[in-house]
Every structure is written in structure tokens, then in C-alpha cells.
């Protein structure tokens, strides 16, 4: 049943490319509700199906089965130009021979609006992205960030119910990309419409999103808030894909897990004795131990001062690498030297345990 608050309802959608035995399943029975005015992100590695799902919503691909509704109306049988959505592509797709104002006005002219209305709404869109002063320039006279703003203005000018964004920041350098992340979130709040954003960049997804759908192999593995996905991943893949994490293999032995590195952590975390498991912990949740509380010993291989923390690269007894991001080293205190031995504490509350 469709949620009445949903801007987009994807219901049991499947999609394959090719036919017969050679067909490649790209999406497998995907179902998701995307809320009105939500900044929703499809996140996953290349080939997971995120861009295909976006293109199905836009109407650039035909689904094999299932249905897609926007504001409660089924749209999967409609061509792209009849759907209440617009798309911003990775390459911006601006017309090089048209000015900034003409690029933005182009989509409005397709709606048979009066000339005065086209000029007014194009101006409003350019004001929204702070590009009104560049209205008479050609795209070749703009920086990458400015071209992206023009592409956003062109997509927003027709006032779609949903804006689809296919990795629109990937062509920008790191500093500009971070700046545009903030501006994109502010723009979404100002426009007051639903944004569906595709990216493979975990930090970008965590920064921008109200909710994230983490995809792998044509399925949604976890759908939740950025905080929940980072702190409470439901699958090993999600834990490993989102941010830095340490994965330690071991076996459940009664009321504890015996790790292959020779250490032991209390609790079986819902697994049966003898089960092989993976214990996951973020580098910032592990810490250098005080006397008598260490979970295991490790050798310091490298340390890097990051300003707000010191990142220690450690080697465990089984040769496995372990990352520890320590913020508790006192001001002026030197971090442990390379080759020194340290004791590491793994708080029980910081551990996630998955079947191996």
C-alpha cells in the first residue's frame, strides 16, 4: 500500500538487461517509499543498480515488473516529459551555444508559457542558485561549480515535484565538492521539494541525506538515517562500505567471542556457540587502554597526526592491520612511537557482530 506522505513509491521493481540466459539482473524486487520534501540518497558501489533505479523513476528505462508512483499517481507507463520530475546529470548537459539565462529558459519554453513568465521564472531560478549576475555568459565562461548551479537552476525552474540527481558533484575538485554539498542541502530546503540523489561517495551521502538506501547486487540492504547506518549497520557489507572500520574474525565460545588475533570479547551477541563471526568496530570507538582494561596488545606500525585526532595503524598478533583514531592523547603529549607495544580496549557497546 502506498504511503500517503510519499512523493515516490517504488513497488516490487525488477529490471534486467539482455535476454534469456545472458540476461543481467540489475534490480531485484526493489521496494521503497521516498517522503515528500525528503533528501533521499541511493548509495552503493558501481554496478549496484542505483543509477538504473534513478533512470526508471525518470522514465529513461522501462521496468520489467513492478510499478512506480509519484504523488500517488502511477507513472511507469509515461514518457519522461510527462512525469513531474527533472534530472541533473553528472556532465550538466548545458547547451554551449546558449547563454546561462537561455539555458534555464529552455525547459520553460517547452511548457508553452508566456515570454514574460519564462523570463520571470528563469530569473527566480538563477537567484535561487546565486547565478543571476552570470545570466548573459556562456557555459564555457563558467567554472565547474558555476555550471553545476546553472544545471540545477534549469532543472528547478519548471517546478518539478521531484528532482533526480545522478552524481552531480563527481566532476568537481574536493574543496568545491564539499562547498557544493552544503549549498545543495540548503537549496533543497529552500526549494521545498523531494531530492533523490545518487552517489558512491559515503561521506557525501552522510553529509546530505535525510535517509540513505545502501544498495548491493540490485537490492537495498539497509534503509535508514545516516547516523543509524553508520553506527548500527545491519549487514557486514554496509559496515565495511560506510567509512573506516575494523573487521576481526573469531568464533563464539560460550559467553565470549574468541578472536583469531588471540583476544577475547565478552558476549555472544545472539550467535550460537561454535559460530564463526565477524566483530566490527569503528577506529574512533576503539581506544588506547588504561592499565588492566586492555582487550589485546598490538604493535604500532605508523601514526599520523590529523589535528583533531591521531590515527594509529597497528598490527595484531595474527598480522592483521587495525586502525585506531585516538582523540584522548593530551596536549603536547607524543603519540606512541613506531615499533612500540600498546594495549587496545574494545568497549562492548561499540561492537557490531555479523555472521562470518
Residue 236, pLDDT > 80, answer yes
Q: What is the Cα–Cα distance from 231 to 281, expressed in whole angstroms?
A: 9
Task: Let me know whether 286 and 311 are in one domain.
Answer: yes
SS3 52: helix
Q: What is the Cα–Cα distance from 74 to 5, expressed in whole angstroms?
A: 15
Residue-wise pLDDT tens digits, 290-331: 766 767 889 999 988 887 788 999 999 888 999 999 877 655
pLDDT tier at 1, thresholds 50, 70, 90:
very low
Task: Let me know whether 139 and 70 are in one domain.
Answer: yes
Which of 238, 268, 284 is the last residue before a domain boundary?
A: 238
Number of domains in the chain: 2
Spell out the residues 6+ positions from residue 313 whose beta carbon is closer than 8 angstroms to its own.
300, 301, 302, 303, 304, 321, 322, 323
Residue-wise pLDDT tens digits, 102-115: 999 988 888 888 89
Task: Let me know whether 154 and 264 are in one domain.
Answer: no
Spell out the residues 6+ positions from residue 222 whose beta carbon is closer than 8 angstroms to its own.
213, 214, 229, 233, 234, 235, 238
Q: Give the HSE-up count for residue 174: Cα atoms under 13 Å, Cβ half-sphere.
A: 1
Q: Domain for residue 1, yes or no?
A: no
Task: Let me know whether 279 and 212 are in one domain.
Answer: no
| pLDDT for 292 | 65
Residue predicted with more confidence, 50 or 113: 50
Which of 238, 271, 301 is the last residue before a domain boundary?
A: 238
- If you average pLDDT over residues 63-69, what whole number do you get? 96
Task: Let me know whether 139 and 26 are in one domain.
Answer: yes
Task: Let me know whether 103 and 193 are in one domain.
Answer: yes
In the structure grid, which three cell numbers stand for residue 309, read together?
Answer: 585526532
Residue 228, pLDDT > 80, answer yes
Residue 214, pLDDT > 90, answer yes
Task: Let me know whether 252 and 316 are in one domain.
Answer: yes
The CATH number of residue 256's host domain is 2.40.50.140
User: Measured on CA atoms in the order 319, 322, 328, 331, is the torsion positive or negative?
Assistant: positive
Task: Let me know whether 163 and 281 are in one domain.
Answer: no
Which of 238, 263, 289 is the last residue before a domain boundary?
A: 238
Supply the range of the domain harboring residue 291.
244-355
Task: Let me know whether 228 and 330 are in one domain.
Answer: no
Residue 177, pLDDT > 60, answer yes
Q: Domain for residue 316, yes or no?
A: yes
Amino acid at each position: 500500500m502506498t504511503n500517503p506522505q510519499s512523493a515516490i513509491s517504488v513497488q516490487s521493481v525488477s529490471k534486467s538487461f539482455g535476454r534469456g540466459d545472458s540476461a543481467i539482473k540489475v534490480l531485484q524486487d526493489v521496494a521503497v517509499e521516498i517522503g515528500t520534501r525528503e533528501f533521499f540518497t541511493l548509495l552503493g558501489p558501481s554496478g549496484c543498480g542505483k543509477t538504473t533505479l534513478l533512470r526508471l523513476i525518470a522514465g529513461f528505462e522501462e521496468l520489467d515488473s513492478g510499478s512506480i508512483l509519484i504523488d500517488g499517481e502511477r507513472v511507469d507507463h509515461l514518457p519522461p516529459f510527462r512525469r513531474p520530475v527533472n534530472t541533473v546529470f553528472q556532465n550538466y548537459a548545458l547547451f554551449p551555444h546558449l547563454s546561462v539565462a537561455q539555458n534555464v529558459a529552455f525547459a520553460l519554453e517547452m511548457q508553452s508559457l508566456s515570454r514574460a513568465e519564462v523570463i520571470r521564472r528563469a530569473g527566480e531560478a538563477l537567484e535561487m542558485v546565486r547565478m543571476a549576475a552570470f545570466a548573459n555568459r556562456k557555459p564555457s565562461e563558467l567554472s565547474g561549480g558555476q555550471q553545476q548551479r546553472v544545471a540545477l537552476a534549469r532543472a528547478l525552474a519548471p517546478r518539478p515535484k521531484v528532482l533526480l540527481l545522478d552524481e552531480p558533484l563527481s566532476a568537481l575538485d574536493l574543496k568545491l565538492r564539499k562547498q557544493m554539498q552544503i549549498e545543495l542541502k540548503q537549496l533543497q530546503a529552500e526549494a521545498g521539494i523531494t531530492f533523490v540523489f545518487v552517489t558512491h561517495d559515503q561521506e557525501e551521502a552522510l553529509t546530505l541525506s535525510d535517509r540513505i538506501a545502501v544498495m548491493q547486487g540490485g537490492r537495498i540492504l539497509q534503509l535508514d538515517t545516516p547516523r543509524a547506518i553508520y553506527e548500527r549497520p545491519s549487514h557486514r557489507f554496509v559496515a565495511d562500505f560506510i567509512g573506516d572500520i575494523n573487521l576481526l574474525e573469531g568464533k563464539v565460545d560460550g559467553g565470549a567471542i574468541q578472536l583469531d588475533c588471540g583476544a577475547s570479547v565478552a558476549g555472544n551477541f545472539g550467535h550460537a556457540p561454535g559460530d564463526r563471526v565477524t566483530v566490527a568496530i569503528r577506529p574512533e570507538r576503539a581506544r588506547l587502554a588504561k592499565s588492566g582494561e586492555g582487550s589485546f596488545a598490538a604493535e604500532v606500525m605508523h601514526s599520523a597526526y590529523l589535528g583533531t585526532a591521531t590515527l594509529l595503524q597497528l598490527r595484531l598478533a595474527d598480522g592483521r592491520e587495525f586502525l585506531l583514531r585516538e582523540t584522548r592523547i593530551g596536549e603536547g603529549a607524543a603519540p606512541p612511537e613506531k615499533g612500540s607495544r600498546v594495549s587496545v580496549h574494545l568497549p562492548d557497546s561499540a561492537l557490531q557482530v555479523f555472521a562470518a
